[in-house]
């Protein structure tokens, strides 16, 4: 039998007041009486960063030419069937093996209690992380460069306030952390900061280039993340690229575009990301770590949709050139500039979200294309060379979300042709061709899916970005 203890009347009153039905009747104000000064933890230093003061094309003579290479075992990776046990697991919601610990299902990678080691484990890991570091360095410089190049008044005229400019500065600070992380993973041979050359002459072109650069930066990591041999490194990279994804969406909002017009983000092979990145690197320090990835010729979209126009699809040759097909404001008259409109669905001022009455592109749109020949010097110190192993192109591959959709090239004449934007969806209600997507020319309509997209590389002739929405 439980022993009853006497309690004071004051204690009894407090217990009665604490009952749920009376809890709101007695407000309690807590006032701190002591300030604590805990010892600051040891914080690892950032990677040394300097503001790049020189921008522009490289004018010297390269001392090294071509991508990093060693013995090549085969012209391409052969296509194979799924591994033998790929369909063995019944996937019926039941447990099929003993639990290694309470509430812990059997299986998984890196779940056996071994301490994680955050270092690259293969050439594939090293070259992939090094590519990511090149990307982080250019983003760091690009964000700082835009803030330094254009005045506060320039930004205000584009609808971007002091708070918006601070957000761009904060995104540059994020890149310091990303560059530090990847440099620490790679060690002393990690690539360093370079000098750069950007295809922009005003704030709106700068913002458009930023959203395109962060697009292929984000997608380039998604393409290799789950192929890394080092799962611990993949975890850290996932946590940095998630921030990059937010940056890409913010730049879309700054541009007056709908922030996320897709259900799935796309992943691309490393060579596509390097192809799009390298042309904007002018020169790198002596003995800079070189990359293995391929540089494809550029694909120019002659009627690339222009987000600054009221009717963004009614356009011809309004880009600043180059691989990203960045928008140009040069030939857009004031009456056609959507920033000047006050009409809902037409105005494209920076906003959390904008729904455009006239879409930038649409299924059935005729898209006119030109492409470069391979063999052109490109990238840091003009020390890489564009290359393709494909035959002359006959298809346009629209790479977006979970889909690779081919449309035949029409009226091929030399290095020009046109094609039709396809009408396809990932699932019902989600047009696959939307947002900032990848458009590549191929010599074959090879069936590939998100996890084996690199199988398409030997068939790729040229690479570009298409502003579908």
pLDDT in tens, 33-92: 666 777 777 788 887 887 766 688 877 777 777 888 787 878 888 888 888 998 889 998
pLDDT at 74: 82
CA angle 407, 409, 411 (to 5 degrees): 145
Residue 143 lies in a domain: yes
- What mean pLDDT is predicted for residues 409-429? 97
Tens digit of each residue's pLDDT (9 = 90 or more) over 16-29: 434 445 445 556 66
SS3 content of the chain, % helix, strand, coil (to 5): 30, 15, 55
Range of the domain at 299: 123-286+294-467
Task: List the CATH number of the domain containing 258.
Answer: 1.20.1260.10
Total structural domains in the chain? Answer: 1
170: left (phi over 0), alpha (psi -120 to 50) or beta: alpha
Residue 1 predicted with pLDDT over 80 = no
Whether pLDDT at 32 is above 80 = no
Task: Specify the pLDDT at position 45.
Answer: 86
Residue 157 is assigned to a structural domain of this protein: yes
* Angle between the N-to-C axes of helices 270-277 and 123-149, in degrees from 0 to 180, rounded to the nearest 10: 30
Least Cα distance to 272 among 434, 414, 388, 139 occurs for: 388
pLDDT recorded at residue 25: 52
Region 433-449: what's the mean pLDDT?
A: 97
Q: Across residues 168-196, what is the average pLDDT?
A: 97
Residue 160 lies in a domain: yes
Name, in order, each residue with C-beta under 8 angstroms of 453's C-beta and a sequence gap of 6 or more: 223, 267, 268, 269, 399, 404
Can you point out the beta strands (E) in 186-232? Answer: 195-196
- pLDDT for residue 79: 85
Candidates 374, 425, 375; CA nearest to 401 is 425
Say how far apart CA 76 and CA 291 lie, in whole Å.
18
By mean pLDDT, which of 77-86, 409-418, 459-468 is the weakest? 77-86
Neighbours of 368 (CB within 10 A): 16
With a CB cutoff of 8 Å and minimum separation 6, the contacts of 366 are 303, 418, 419, 420, 421
pLDDT at 2: 41
Q: What is the pLDDT of residue 18?
A: 44
Residue 28 is assigned to a structural domain of this protein: no
| pLDDT at position 26 | 59
Q: pLDDT tens across 109-129, in order? A: 999 999 999 999 999 999 999
Q: Which sign, positive or negative, has the C-alpha torsion 211, 217, 220, 224?
A: negative
Residues 6 or more apart in contact with residue 237 via CB below 8 angstroms: 129, 132, 182, 221, 225, 228
The chain-wide mean pLDDT, for the chain, equals 91
How many angstroms separate the Cα of 273 from the Cα of each of 30, 36, 277, 450?
A: 55, 49, 6, 15
Q: Which pLDDT does position 29 carry in this prediction?
A: 67
Determine, yes or no, domain membership for 37. no
CB 353 within 8 A of CB 331: no
Would you say residue 53 lies in a domain? no
**Which carries the bigger pLDDT value, residue 424 or residue 70?**
424
Query: Using the 8-state DSSP alphabet, how is residue 13 labeled?
Result: H
pLDDT digits (tens, 9 = 90+) for 219-275: 999 999 999 999 999 999 999 999 999 999 999 999 999 999 999 999 999 999 999
* 75 Cβ contact list (under 8 Å, min separation 6): 389, 458
Q: What is the mean pLDDT of residues 289-306?
A: 97
- Taking alpha carbons only, the member of 355, 277, 368 closest to residue 319 is 368
Residue 368 belongs to some domain of the structure: yes
DSSP element (H, E) containing 207:
helix 203-224
User: What integer pLDDT is reported at residue 27 of this predicted model?
Assistant: 62
Over range 180-190, report the average pLDDT. 97
Whether 261 and 435 have beta carbons less than 8 Å apart is answered as yes
| pLDDT digit string, tens, across residues 298-352 | 999 999 999 999 999 999 999 998 899 999 999 999 999 999 999 999 999 999 9
Residues near 441 by Cβ (< 8 Å), separated by ≥ 6? 299, 369, 371, 393, 395, 396, 397, 409, 460, 461, 462
Other beta carbons less than 10 A from residue 339's beta carbon: 18
pLDDT above 80 for 93? yes
Of the chain, the percentage scoring pLDDT greater than 90 comes to: 78
Q: What is the pLDDT of residue 411?
A: 98
The percent of residues above 70 in pLDDT, for the chain, comes to 92
In a domain? residue 430: yes
Please state, in angstroms and rounded to a whole number, the distance separating the CA atoms of residues 363 and 383. 40
Is residue 275 within 8 A of residue 295, CB to CB? The reply is yes
């Amino acid at each position: 039998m439980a022993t009853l203890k006497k309690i004071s009347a004051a204690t009894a009153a407090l217990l009665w007041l604490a009952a749920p039905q009376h809890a709101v009747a007695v407000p309690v104000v807590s006032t701190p009486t002591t300030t604590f000064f805990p010892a600051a933890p040891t914080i690892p230093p950032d990677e040394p960063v300097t503001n790049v003061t020189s921008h522009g094309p490289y004018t010297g003579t390269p001392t090294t030419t071509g991508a990093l290479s060693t013995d090549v075992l085969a012209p391409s990776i052969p296509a194979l069937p799924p591994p033998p046990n790929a369909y063995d697991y019944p996937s019926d919601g039941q447990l099929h093996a003993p639990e290694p610990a309470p509430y812990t299902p059997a299986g998984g990678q890196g779940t056996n209690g071994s301490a994680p080691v955050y270092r690259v484990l293969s050439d594939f890991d090293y070259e992939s992380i090094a590519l990511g570091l090149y990307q982080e360095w250019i983003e760091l410089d690009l964000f700082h460069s835009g803030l330094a190049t254009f005045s506060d008044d320039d930004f205000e005229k584009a609808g971007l306030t002091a708070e918006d400019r601070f957000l761009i500065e904060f995104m540059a600070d994020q890149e310091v952390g990303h560059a530090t992380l990847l440099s620490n993973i790679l060690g002393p041979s990690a690539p360093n900061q370079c000098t750069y050359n950007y295809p922009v002459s005003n704030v709106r072109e700068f913002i458009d280039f930023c959203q395109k650069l962060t697009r292929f930066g984000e997608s380039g990591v998604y393409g290799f993340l789950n192929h890394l041999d080092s799962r611990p490194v993949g975890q850290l990279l996932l946590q940095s690229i998630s921030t990059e994804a937010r940056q890409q969406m913010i730049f879309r909002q700054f541009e007056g575009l709908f922030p996320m017009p897709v259900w799935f983000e796309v992943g691309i092979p490393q060579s596509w990301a390097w192809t799009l990145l390298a042309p904007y690197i002018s020169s790198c320090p002596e003995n800079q770590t070189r990359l293995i990835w391929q540089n494809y010729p550029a694909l120019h979209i002659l009627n690339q949709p222009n987000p600054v126009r009221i009717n963004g699809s009614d356009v011809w040759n309004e880009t600043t050139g180059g691989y990203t097909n960045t928008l140009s404001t040069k030939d857009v008259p004031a009456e056609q500039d959507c920033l000047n409109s006050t009409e809902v669905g037409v105005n494209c001022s920076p906003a959390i979200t904008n729904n455009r009455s006239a879409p930038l592109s649409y299924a059935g749109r005729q898209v006119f294309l030109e492409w470069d020949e391979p063999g052109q010097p490109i990238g840091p110190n003009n020390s890489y060379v564009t290359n393709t192993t494909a035959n002359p192109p006959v298809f346009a591959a629209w790479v977006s979300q979970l889909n690779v959709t081919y449309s035949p090239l029409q009226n091929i004449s030399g290095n020009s042709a046109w094609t039709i934007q396809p009408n396809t969806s990932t699932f019902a209600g989600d047009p696959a061709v939307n947002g900032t997507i990848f458009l590549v020319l191929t010599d074959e309509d090879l069936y590939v899916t998100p996890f084996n997209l690199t199988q398409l590389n030997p068939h790729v002739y040229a690479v570009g970005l298409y502003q579908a929405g």
